[in-house]
Amino acid sequence: MHIVINTPNGNIGRSLALRLLEAGESLTVISRSEEKVAEVVQRGAKVVVGSTDDAAVLDRAFAGAKAIFWLTPPPARPDFIEWSEGLARLAASKAKAHGVARVVVLSSMGAQSGRGTGPVGGLLAVEEAFKAAVPDVMILRPGYFMENLLRAVPTLVSEGSISLPIPADRQQPFVATRDIALKAEGVLRDGTWTGHRYLGIHGPRSLTYTEVEKLLSEALGRPVRYVQVSLSDARKGMQGAGLPGFLVELLSEMYQSALEGRLDPAEPRTVETTTPTTLAQWAKEVLAPEVARARASAA
């Protein structure tokens, strides 16, 4: 089966690409730079160089494809929501034109709420675009990426803390991106499912930040405090960190949506949605080395 991945350079896309190649699948990746995907090309992937919002690039990439893994890139422009929705409609139309029958869409928990939820806000339209054009679509809605905790490395080093405008007792599913890639590989290679389906990806169990505080303290070998800040203070912190204004607005909207419950998972936890990597394991293997490197650099 020939598969296309539109975002092979991030944690999920790269891991998925390598897994598919190891399994012997035929693969095309889209990348602005061939150098960035050199490893997967060396392992047998074909690369189409260009931007995913270029119709000609999509035509070249989708020709002969049987399945597509579609991941909306992170927000990088002020019109991100409108751009990502339009990009999905273009990609869906090209998938239909090339006779692609199966698409796996990486979405997010909370996508069911639609616009007004920050970077998640455009994903409902992305889902609907592919459902309208392709007969078999699996929509993956993962929980909170464990990798997002890497953003707190500077404050973990300087203050031993993580600060967010989320109540410490609010439970949410934490999932490792490698487990998302594993789940995506499974559904891409499984030829038995049909129609339009949704699958949550929820990690081993939902956690509060009080529990996260304890788990990270054990993994890092030093006390970690979780500090709930106001949404206003979170905005000031993002501005102080140099984030562009549009991104501050999107993330502030996301946090407000989370406080309102609009980003809660729509899919119940089941055996199928539960993935293996625990936060304790991930923190020891991924977070602790990053903190150690940052601490050594700061010394």
DSSP labels for 63-85? TT-SEEEEEPPPP-STTHHHHHH
**In this predicted model, which residue has the larger pLDDT, 208 or 297?**
208
Percent residues over pLDDT 90 in the chain: 98
> Is the predicted pLDDT of residue 155 greater than 80, yes or no?
yes
What residue type is 293 in one-letter code? R
Give the separation between CA 224 and CA 284, rounded to whole angstroms: 14
DSSP string, 77-142: STTHHHHHHHHHHHHHHHHHHTT--EEEEE--TTGGG-SSSGGGGGHHHHHHHHHHH-SEEEEEEE
Residue type, 232: S
- Does residue 192 have a pLDDT over 80? yes
- What's the whole-model pTM score? 0.96
pLDDT in tens, 238-281: 999 899 999 999 999 999 999 999 999 999 999 999 999 999 99
Q: Is the pLDDT of residue 299 over 80?
A: no
pLDDT at 1: 82
Task: Give the confidence band of 298 by pLDDT, cuts at 50, 70, 90.
Answer: confident
Helix (H, G, I), strand (E, B) or coil at 101: coil
Q: Given this model, what pLDDT does residue 52 score?
A: 96
Per-residue pLDDT, averaged over 205-234, amounts to 97
Taking alpha carbons only, the member of 196, 197, 215 closest to residue 205 is: 215
What are the sequence ranges of the domains in the chain? 2-145+175-201
Summarised one tens digit per residue, pLDDT across range 67-126 is 999 999 999 999 999 999 999 999 999 999 999 999 999 999 999 999 999 999 999 999
Task: Give pLDDT tens digits for 35-83.
Answer: 999 999 999 999 999 999 999 999 999 999 999 999 999 999 999 999 9
Its CATH class, for the domain covering 2-145+175-201, is alpha beta
pLDDT, the chain, mean: 96
* Average pLDDT of the segment spanning 144-148: 97
